[in-house]
Amino acid sequence: QSALTQPASVSGSPGQSITISCTGTSSDVGGNNYVSWYQQHPGKAPKLMVYDVSNRPSGVSNRFSGSKSGNTASLTMSGLQAEDEADYYCSSYTKSNTLVFGGGTKLTVL
Amino acid sequence: EVQLVESGGGLVQPGGSLRLSCAASGFTFSSSAMNWVRQAPGKGLEWVSTISDSGGRAYYADSVRGRFTISRDNPKNTLYLQMNSLRAEDTAVYYCAKDYRYYSVWGQGTLVTVSS
C-alpha cells in the first residue's frame, strides 16, 4: 500500500495553466481507470474534483481536467484563479479492493 | 442535501479505545459503500477502511488491520469505526466518505488525539 507519487508543490500565475502528476504502478493507476482527484483548502474536508480519470462531478468547473497515460495520471487546471490555491490529492482504486492516495501537492497561485 | 456527520473523537491514552460514528442523510445509505480516511496533523490523506453496502465485506489498511473494525447499521444510517490499541501515530482527523472507487461526499471530520 505505497502512496502514489505527486510533486510536493507547484505554482502558477493567475490565468496560467498548470499540471499535477500522479505516478503509481500497474497495481493501481496503470491497472484501471479509477483515478480521482481531490481539492482541500486549509481546515476543510477534501472535495472531489475528478473521478474515473477524466470525469467531473456536477458543479466542478471545466477548468479542471484529468488524464492518464500508463502508470501516471495528471490533473490540469487552466485559467488559474486565486481560489484554486489549495492542496490537491490523487487517488486510485487498487487490485486489492483498497484505495491509495498520493502524498499531496500544494498549489500556490502567485 | 447529502450529508455525513462524524462524532466520537477526542483525547485517549496510548493503548486505549475509541468508537467513531458517522451519521448519513440525504441518500440511500444501504446502497452505498462507505469509508474512513484519516489525516495526521500537517500530513496527507490516508485511506483507513472500506465497508460494502451490505456490510458483508470490509477492507483495512495494513497500518490498522487487527486493531480497527469498521461496521455499519443500515436501519440507523450510521457508519462506525471501533479503534482499539491506539497509538500516538493514530492521531489524526478522521473523515467518513461515501462510495467505492472515488469519494463523492465527505464529512467534516472528527479529531482523534492519542497522548498520555
- The alpha-carbon gap from B41 to the nearest alpha carbon of chain A, in Å, equals 10
pLDDT at B20 over 70: yes
- Is A64:A14 a contact under the CB 8 Å cutoff? no
Q: Decide: B40 and B109 in contact? Cβ < 8 Å.
A: no
Q: What is the pLDDT of residues B58-72, one digit of tens each?
A: 999 999 999 999 999
Closest CA relative to residue A5, chosen from A51, A73, A82? A73
Quote the minimal CA–CA distance from A15 to chain B in Å. 27
Q: Which among A57, A91, A100 has the least Cβ separation from residue B104?
A: A57
User: How far is the CA of B14 from the CAs of A83, A85, B6, B19, in angstroms?
Assistant: 39, 36, 22, 15
CA distance B110 to chain A (A): 11
From chain B, the residues in CB contact with A97 under 8 A are 50, 57, 59
DSSP assignment, residue A52?
T
Nearest CA in chain A to B41: A43
Write out pLDDT tens, residues B70-109. Answer: 999 999 999 999 999 999 999 999 999 999 899 999 999 9
Return d(Cα B50, Cα B21) in angstroms, integer: 14
* pLDDT at position A96: 87
Which chain A residue's Cα is nearest to B39?
Answer: A45
pLDDT for position A1 = 65
The partner residue sitting opposite B61, judged by closest CB among A1, A36, A87, is A1
* Mean pLDDT per 10-residue section of chain A, whose length is 110 residues: 91 97 95 97 97 96 96 97 97 92 97
Across all residues in chain B, what is the average pLDDT? 97
